[in-house]
């Protein structure tokens, strides 16, 4: 795995992105931002599962103004997602937004960008230049690859912000196509010092979207690229946060809650491992300790993996051996598998 690319850290509210800060998990609300209570409730739910930054859509002035009340009801920094109308960015700043996301595909006029940059600089609010393959600037050169066009769009906006003495910058270059996204990020990573927000856009429903996002995000993280991630899913944003942490945990980049090791089951298993693992996984979602928990189907790999975990069971016929830190604790009956395992997890 490559060492992490050096980047210039920025501060979004109380969260540092880039530099040596942990890779930050973010998501976006799916409520109408003007509906302050629903938006606060969704953000609080996201905070509960570890979301560290949240973006809200700002389609009009009422949504921009709502940021002020939303911020009073939540603990994590709120980023305003702005398209088309630069005045909405100014209103969001006025309402106390912690960050802005601008799309150079629909806000690129130098004077408008300058007006936003001056107001953001005054408040020390960072701007994400969020390039999207689906909304490239009209001036993009069609002879270039989509990845190159995305990089060019970001570089032009960066140049403009730098000329205005604004450097609280974060960049994203998202496409649905995974190789295009990887090409774009690997290209820009060598050209700029700013932190990168990575993700695959419009990745789909959890069934396919988590795989698509994992392939793209993990490849980049393995190359040392990425300071904050979002898994974009056509689903409740809680699923985005859970998936993002699973990616980071798989690469040993963050610790967050338990890791479940479970065998795939096969003809040797004498208990329903699929049902058992799903039941344990569901219960582990409520645990925030960084534990390794193993649920194994038989004596072939079972005892080895279960012993390697902090807590584990290796099942046999109607019974299982419970292990804790490599030591056999006792034998448990099938009807008690979940309750005993979870009681040990709670006690650990």
List residues binding ligand SF4 (CB under 6 A).
Answer: 263-266, 268-269, 296-298, 300-302
Q: Which is nearer to ligand SF4, 244 or 298 (CB)?
A: 298
Nearest approach in angstroms of CB 121 to ligand SF4 is: 57
Pairing of strands 292-296, 259-262: parallel
Q: Which is nearer to ligand SF4, 210 or 269 (CB)?
A: 269
Which residue shows structure tokens 């946060």?
A: 241
Q: Which is nearer to ligand SF4, 137 or 312 (CB)?
A: 312
Nearest approach in angstroms of CB 303 to ligand SF4 is: 9
Nearest approach in angstroms of CB 308 to ligand SF4 is: 13
Does residue 149 contact residue 188 with C-beta atoms inside 8 Å?
A: no
Q: Which is nearer to ligand SF4, 191 or 317 (CB)?
A: 317
Q: What tokens were used for 91?
A: 């209103």
Other Cβ atoms closer than 10 A to 75: 10
Residue nearest to ligand SF4 (CB): 297
Distance CA 321, CA 305 (A): 12
Nearest approach in angstroms of CB 249 to ligand SF4 is: 22
Q: What tokens were used for 244?
A: 């993002």
Nearest approach in angstroms of CB 221 to ligand SF4 is: 29
Nearest approach in angstroms of CB 215 to ligand SF4 is: 25
Q: What tokens were used for 248?
A: 């980071």
Q: Which is nearer to ligand SF4, 95 or 321 (CB)?
A: 321
Nearest approach in angstroms of CB 262 to ligand SF4 is: 8
Residue 106's φ and ψ, nearest 5 degrees, are -135, -5
Q: Which is nearer to ligand SF4, 253 or 296 (CB)?
A: 296
Give the three-class secondary structure for 18: coil
3-state helix, strand, coil in the chain (%, to 5): 40, 20, 40
Element (H, E) at 274: helix 273-284
Q: Which is nearer to ligand SF4, 167 or 270 (CB)?
A: 270
Does residue 189 contact residue 196 with C-beta atoms inside 8 Å?
A: yes
Contacts of 202 (CB under 8 A, 6+ apart): 134, 176, 232
- In what order do the strands lie in the sheet containing 197-198? 169-174, 127-132, 99-102, 78-82, 53-57, 24-28, 228-229, 197-198
Distance CA 175, CA 179 (A): 9
Q: Which is nearer to ligand SF4, 291 or 314 (CB)?
A: 314
Nearest approach in angstroms of CB 311 to ligand SF4 is: 17
Other Cβ atoms closer than 10 A to 112: 16
Nearest approach in angstroms of CB 338 to ligand SF4 is: 18
By CB neighbour count within 10 A (0-12 exposed, 13-18 middle, 19+ buried), where does 96 fall? middle
Q: Which is nearer to ligand SF4, 68 or 301 (CB)?
A: 301
Does residue 90 contact residue 117 with C-beta atoms inside 8 Å?
A: no
């Amino acid at each position: 795995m490559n060492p992490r690319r050096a980047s210039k850290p920025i501060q979004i509210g109380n969260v540092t992105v880039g530099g040596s800060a942990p890779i930050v998990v973010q998501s976006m609300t799916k409520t109408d931002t003007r509906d302050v209570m629903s938006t606060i409730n969704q953000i609080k739910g996201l905070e509960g599962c570890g979301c560290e930054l949240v973006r809200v859509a700002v389609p009009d002035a009422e949504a921009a103004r709502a940021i002020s009340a939303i911020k009073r009801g939540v603990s994590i920094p709120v980023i305003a997602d702005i398209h088309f109308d630069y005045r909405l960015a100014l209103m969001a700043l006025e309402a106390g937004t912690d960050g802005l996301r601008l799309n150079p595909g629909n806000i690129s006029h130098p004077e408008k960008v300058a007006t936003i940059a001056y107001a953001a600089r005054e408040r020390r609010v960072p701007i994400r230049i969020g390039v999207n393959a689906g909304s490239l600037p009209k001036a993009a050169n069609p002879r270039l690859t989509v990845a190159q066009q995305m990089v060019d769009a970001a570089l032009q906006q960066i140049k403009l912000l730098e000329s205005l003495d604004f450097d609280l910058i974060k960049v994203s270059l998202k496409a649905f196509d995974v190789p295009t996204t990887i090409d774009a990020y690997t290209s820009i990573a060598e050209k700029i010092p700013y932190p990168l927000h990575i993700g695959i856009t419009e990745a789909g429903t959890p069934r396919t979207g988590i795989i698509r996002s994992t392939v793209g995000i993990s490849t980049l993280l393995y190359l040392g690229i990425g300071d904050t991630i979002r898994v974009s899913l056509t689903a409740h944003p809680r699923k985005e946060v859970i998936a993002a942490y699973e990616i980071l945990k798989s690469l040993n980049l963050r610790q967050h809650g338990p890791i479940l090791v479970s065998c795939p089951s096969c003809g040797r298993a004498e208990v329903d491992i699929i049902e058992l693992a799903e039941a344990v996984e569901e219960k582990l979602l409520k645990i925030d300790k960084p534990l390794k928990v193993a649920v194994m189907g038989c004596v072939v790999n079972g005892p080895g993996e279960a012993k390697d975990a902090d807590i584990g069971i290796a099942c046999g016929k109607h019974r299982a051996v419970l292990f804790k830190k490599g030591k056999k604790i006792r034998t448990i009956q099938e009807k008690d598998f979940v309750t005993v395992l979870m009681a040990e997890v709670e006690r650990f």
